[in-house]
Amino acid sequence: MQLVDMEIPGQSERVITVREAGLVACRRCSSVWPGEATECARCGARLVSRDRKSLQRVWAWWLAGIMCYLPANLYPMLETRTLLFTSDATIVGGAIELIHHGSVGIAVVILVASVLIPIGKFLSIALLAISVDRPGLLPKHQRHGLFEIVEYVGRWSMIDVFVVAILASLVQLSVVASIKPGPASLTFALSVIFTMFSAQSIDPRLIWDEDRATNGDPE
Amino acid sequence: MAAPTYHDTKDLIACTECDALYHVVDPNPGELGVCARCHHVMIRPRRFAGMRIIMMAVTMLILMVGAIYFPFLRVEVQGLAHSASIMDAVFAFADVRLSVLSVLTAAFILLIPALRMGLLLYVLVPIVFDRPALAGARRAFRWSEVLKPWSMAEIFAIGCAVALVKVGDLARVEMGPAFWMFIGLVIVVVVQETFICSWSIWKSLDSQSA
């Protein structure tokens, strides 16, 4: 697809920010307003030039997410009952079982969605939140890459919860085999939801400001 | 540098990711308007986007009714069989301790996707048919944008694929009509997303009230 660059206003060669122009932007609908405006007249969203208080929200949701993620790994996700035995499987335990059965691909999907993405997300959000005040912590390109990953990939962790829902509704074969969801399914889902809120609370403009202050523009 | 002052902010656009300020350049349909600083896509107009979004929203709602009503999956082992609908999957967490999760699952895979389609229809039908916007159209569109990350039908579809492989080793699984309807629904939602350019929709809402 053809890319078209937006036009830089004024005689300047360099991109200027809305804040430098004394204006304030709406993060919901991308409209621009005079600096003293507090509510977007187009979509009704609250206007804040830089939301520094957002970091408190980020950390609060982050902590709630971690507190739910620990029990999600310790308690069983699935409780399987067959004629001969009853077994409880945690997230990692279930994936290891899959590898023993030879379904390596599916095990990888589960491990990526339920272990790699959540843990990576906790680390990334923490790094981003800390690096707002300590910009030297990470190279700038990595910070922007990280933010995009955190924002768009996090919701895919819900896969495991939906797998449990489908298995538990489908495998109900009276005494031969039945599957019940375990307590970890709830805490895992809550952990995903809380970290989504945490990631959404990050104001990415804070990250870009630091780059400008320390390194100039990436262009 | 001395910042110029702007008296009219109507033809300005801000990058929502990095706060860069631009004059709006109207790209041709099919072109992408991107931020020169962070390469975030700001504008992506498509030809006949409004009508296509409306048709896909209606298709999606019809498929959803079918997907809820018809049998979804059926499993069979040694003469024992059991079939489940999407609602059975939602109520898999009906256990008292986990019942919150039933509500969340229903919201993520059925209610929020359907609500978004309803909101988009509410906003776009008057625009496309040259009628004045309905009351609260702006708030409706803002909510449709807020709900976007919470609409998880496509994630549920991948979950189905994983579950099928898990069960497939142990039992024979048959896909019911609802399964194929749901897959169709997910494809419609994903394609529709590529037609939704929020800047274009806001612009249409602006010109309607002017």
CB A169 to CB B84 under 8 A?
yes
* Per-chain mean pLDDT for chain B: 89
Which segments of A38-183 does DSSP mark as H helices, in order? 54-74, 91-100, 104-111, 117-131, 140-153, 159-170
- Domain residue spans of chain B: 1-45, 48-209
Residues 127 through 156 of chain A touching chain B, CB cutoff 8 Å: 144, 155-156
SS3 for A78? strand
Q: pLDDT at residue A16 above 70?
A: yes
pLDDT of residue B67: 94
Amino acid at B199: W
Beta bridge partners of A25: A32
Tell me whether B108 touches chain A (CB under 8 Å): yes
**How far is the alpha carbon of A64 from chain B, nearest alpha carbon, in Å?**
17
Any idea which of A85-99, A179-193, B125-139, B145-159 has the lowest mean pLDDT? A85-99
Could you say which of A32, A180, A196 has the minimum Cβ distance to residue B14?
A32
Partners of A26 on chain B (C-beta within 8 Å) are 14, 16
The predicted structure's pLDDT at residue A7: 72
How much of chain B is in helix, strand and coil states, percent to nearest 5?
A: 55, 15, 30
Cβ-defined contact of A103 to B166 (cutoff 8 Å):
yes
Condensed to tens digits (0 to 9), the pLDDT of residues A108-154 reads 888 888 899 899 999 989 988 888 877 777 777 777 778 878 888 88
Confidence at residue B16, expressed as pLDDT on a 0 to 100 scale: 87
The interface predicted TM-score (ipTM) is: 0.89
Segment of A78-92, A100-114, B88-102 carrying the highest mean pLDDT? B88-102
Lowest mean pLDDT among A1-10, A89-98, B177-186: A1-10
**Right CATH for A51-215 from 2.60.40, 1.10.760, 1.10.3470, 1.20.140:** 1.20.140
Q: By three-state DSSP, how is residue A144 classified?
A: helix
Decide if pLDDT at B3 tops 70.
Answer: no
Give the domain ranges of chain A. 1-49, 51-215
Cβ separation A165–B15 shorter than 8 A: no
Q: Are A40 and A33 in contact (CB under 8 A)?
A: yes
What are the chain B neighbours of A7 within 8 Å (beta carbons)? Answer: 22-25
**8 Å CB contact of A166 and B73:** yes
- Grade residue A219 by pLDDT with cuts at 50, 70 and 90: very low
| Pairwise CB contact (< 8 Å): A6 & B34 | yes
Query: B48-209 is classed in which CATH architecture?
Result: Up-down Bundle (1.20)
**A218 has a chain B CB within 8 A of its CB:** yes
Taking CA–CA distances from B88, the nearest residue in chain A reads A169
- Of A5, A109, A156, nearest to B36 by CB-CB distance is A5
- Contact B142/A74 with Cβ under 8 angstroms? no
Q: DSSP code of B131? A: -
Average pLDDT over residues B39-44: 87
CA dihedral defined by A106, A107, A108, A113, rounded to 10 degrees?
90
Enter the tokens of residue A167: 């298995």
What count of other Cβ atoms lies within 10 Å of the Cβ of residue A74? 12
pLDDT (average), residues B108-121 = 96
Burial class (CB in 10 A: 0-12, 13-18, 19+), B101: buried
Cβ separation B73–A170 shorter than 8 A: yes
